[in-house]
Chain A
């Protein structure tokens, strides 16, 4: 039985269905990703699992406890790192960690050691007695990451752990998350809309769009579904070229997008000459390894960063949990 299970989990905000009939089953010790654009219902899902938000129908259990009937039991098992900064910026980093330890039931004698360890892990030693308002965004994020872990939760929710951070900081936080998992058997549910993040960290991931799971598997298996790497071609006559390419055995599928051909090719190194031969006169070409971006596009028909699309923007503005 999974450490986190949901059955038909649903949450509505007015007419909008933010989370729609979600079925999840997360195993102990797994890093499970919820991948989707802003407003897909990831934060809403996490809020329900963390007992911060009620659900409209369906059920969810965390560590064997029902989130509606036994919220206090659930809260004893979890740690959560929120998407928005949630430390008190008029307190120091050390004070934030200390108060967290007290509130989350860490024995008082153990707290100083845990704080030391945490500060070392995210290289905040030396700055711990400065007010959090003097921290950079990355420092604050790192502080909140180790704060969520301070009480050694069995299950950790990470809501967009690297949102808005620069690439170096992001790399460092990924390394921290990996070291945490290596060190302790902790189950992590991670939401993200960064493909690299999901690809690097997650054992399995669910692609979520408009509150529904559109695909669920390991990153490798998801990428395999796209049918090999993508060859992008600009040709004189795209319709004719597409027909010729589709006929090739090594081509899984071929799509015309804005005058450009996206051809999914298996074993691309061997089959490239055959592809070129079939395409006819080529103006330009590009070969890309399959990324989760392609997977997302494959399943949803739109790009994950396609936030200007009206439907997504409208959805997003209404799903935002906390009005600012």
Chain B
């Protein structure tokens, strides 16, 4: 019972802080919009054969990838707040509490996932208005699948962010390390292109996308929102199994990381 209250407390604090800092919200919505409008439209304008993206415009094609990007960046960079907690010494207050380290870690993960879900929801809603051709696919069933995968991705990525954060002492160091992790994960997720096209051109890149958990979220969400058979690269069942597996492994590593964390 007291562990549950503690979990709630840690989550509640993250949510309160999140809604109190508007700049976080605004900043996180702006970047995906730039990708959709500037990159999507810009590159889309120079693509003549729309068939290569299943008959959709390039900006529509990358929309599911941008949803994943929003979750990916938001979730991993959330790990910064554990570094910040250490700097303002709030971490000591939490670590001296009679709570299991796994409770603290889980509370932090849920806080980060909540932040990510709120932000990506804004993009999901904007997408409904920006892309009229997608509207017929905004069904309860497809949104449930989209949110399931965004949730799993958020848990996985928040865990990665917190694991890195639990080992870093300065925000600058954290940002540097995280950039090294996050950009390859984004570009190798197939958010901006179809992964299968890599098999003949650059097979080693293809294998890198297969090893990347983000790929599976992109695959599932793209095929759900844009039901073109060519976009079904791995299959939903495999997407769920692999991403779910990553999720569990990282939760386990995260618990260990918090158990061995020093103030």
Contact = CB atoms under 8 A, between A and B. Distances in A.
B13 A88 contact: yes
A99 B87 CA distance: 19
A123 to B, nearest CB: 22
B94 interface: yes
B92 A82 contact: yes
A89 B86 CA distance: 14
Contacts of A321: 263
Contacts of A84: 89
Contacts of A51: 96
- Describe B's contact surface by its main secondary structure: helix
Contact of B10 (A50, A86, A103, A108): A103
Contact of A90 (B12, B17, B98): B17
Contact of A104 (B16, B17, B97, B100): B97
Interface stretch (A72-80, A177-185, A188-196): A72-80
Nearest to A92: B16
Interface in A296-324: 321-324
Contacts, number: 76
Contacts of B169: 323
Interface stretch (B1-9, B27-35, B216-224, B226-234): B1-9
Contacts of A126: none
B89 A103 contact: no
Nearest to B170: A323
The number of chain A residues touching the other chain, given as a range, is 20 to 34
Interface in A78-118: 78, 80, 82, 84-91, 95, 99-100, 102-105, 108
A91 B13 contact: yes
A248 interface: no
Given A52-B263, A75-B96, A321-B263, A87 B90 contact: yes
Contacts of A78: 96
Given A53-B262, A90-B21, A323-B169, A103 B99 contact: yes
Contacts of A47: 263
Interface in B1-54: 2, 5-6, 8-10, 12-13, 16-17, 20-21
Contacts of B96: 50-52, 75, 78, 80
A90 B89 contact: no
Contacts of B8: 102
Given A90-B20, A91-B16, A105-B5, A75 B89 contact: no
B89 A99 contact: no
Contacts of B87: 324
A80 B98 CA distance: 12
B100 A99 contact: no
A322 B95 contact: no
A65 to B, nearest CB: 12
B88 interface: yes
B93 interface: yes
Contacts of A104: 97-98
Contacts of A80: 92, 96
24 contacts: A47-B263, A52-B95, A52-B96, A72-B98, A72-B100, A76-B98, A80-B92, A82-B92, A88-B88, A90-B21, A95-B13, A95-B16, A99-B9, A99-B12, A99-B13, A102-B5, A102-B8, A102-B12, A103-B6, A103-B9, A104-B98, A105-B2, A322-B263, A324-B87
Interface of A: 47, 50-53, 72, 75-76, 78, 80, 82, 84-91, 95, 99-100, 102-105, 108, 147, 321-324
